[in-house]
């Protein structure tokens, strides 16, 4: 399976090396570090020690799916089915992709790399991919939306001529090929503003 993404280099994204000349990146926390809960991190670490644990298996599958979405192709039967589902349910509304896996930084003291920016359903969208065993509600994706809100804030600081109109999480879900599905969860402007505030409070 190979995805046919329409890419357009509208924004000239700075590579990490160029950002490091503008920001002290070595002193900056990543977005995920800012939002991490030490108790959850400890639990996750313990789960990942057992390669056969449900969490470890789901994480490996999520990583494989993410890499396939980034590259646009896979030879694995299940991952290819994930890409096919993404193409049918999400890609039909993704008109252009302007950037993938680009680095961002903000003078508030954080850095990170987003999954993608492009035109989704007619709006400039900053988006993230998530592979889960079951479909996620918007509230179930709240932590990921805070990450996206932080990226939006940094993106607009660096590329103010291109204001992000919406945040979206593309959720591919299912554990069997026949039960795979995909959905797009989008934040309202009010929800996005609240997520930015909540993220910035974690920086203090």
The DSSP result for 108-170, as a single string, is TTEEEEEEEEEEETTEEEEEEEEEESS---TGGGHHHHHHHHHHHHHHHHH-TTS---EEEEE
By mean pLDDT, which of 28-42, 52-66, 181-195 is the weakest? 52-66
Give yes or no for residue 45 having a pLDDT over 70.
no
Pairing assessment for the beta strands 123-132 and 110-120 based on DSSP bridges: antiparallel
Mean pLDDT calculated for residue range 34-41: 76
CA distance 129 to 32: 15
Mean pLDDT calculated for residue range 179-187: 96
With a CB cutoff of 8 Å and minimum separation 6, the contacts of 40 are: none
CA distance 202 to 196: 10
Please state, rounded to an integer, the average pLDDT across all residues of the chain. 91
Mean pLDDT calculated for residue range 116-133: 96
Q: How confident is the model at residue 55 (pLDDT cuts 50, 70, 90)?
A: low
Could you state, in order of their start, the residue ranges of all structural domains in the chain? 16-203
With a CB cutoff of 8 Å and minimum separation 6, the contacts of 186 are: 166, 167, 168
Give yes or no for residue 48 having a pLDDT over 70.
no
Mean pLDDT calculated for residue range 195-204: 94
Tokens describing residue 79 = 């991952």
CA distance 195 to 174: 28
By percentage, how much of the chain surpasses pLDDT 70?
92
Res 46: pLDDT: 59
CATH number of 16-203: 3.90.320.10
Cα→Cα distances 167→68, 125, 149, Å: 21, 6, 7
């Amino acid at each position: 399976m190979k995805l046919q993404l329409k890419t357009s280099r509208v924004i000239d994204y700075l590579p990490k090396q160029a950002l490091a000349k503008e920001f002290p990146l070595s002193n900056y926390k990543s977005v995920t570090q800012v939002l991490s809960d030490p108790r959850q991190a400890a639990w996750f670490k313990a789960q990942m020690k057992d390669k056969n644990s449900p969490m470890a298996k789901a994480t490996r599958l999520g990583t494989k799916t993410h890499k396939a979405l980034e590259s646009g192709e896979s030879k694995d039967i299940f991952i290819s089915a994930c890409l096919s589902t993404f193409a049918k349910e999400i890609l039909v509304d993704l008109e252009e992709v302007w950037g993938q896996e680009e680095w961002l930084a903000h003078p508030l003291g954080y850095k990170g790399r987003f999954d993608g920016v492009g035109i989704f359903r007619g709006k400039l969208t900053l988006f993230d991919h998530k592979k889960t065993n079951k479909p996620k509600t918007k509230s179930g994706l709240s932590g990921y939306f805070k990450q996206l809100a932080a990226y939006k804030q940094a993106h607009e600081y660096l590329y103010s001529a291109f204001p992000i109109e919406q945040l979206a999480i593309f959720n591919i879900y299912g554990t069997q090929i026949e039960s795979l599905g995909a959905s797009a969860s989008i934040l309202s402007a009010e929800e996005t503003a609240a997520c930015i505030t909540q993220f910035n409070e974690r920086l203090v």
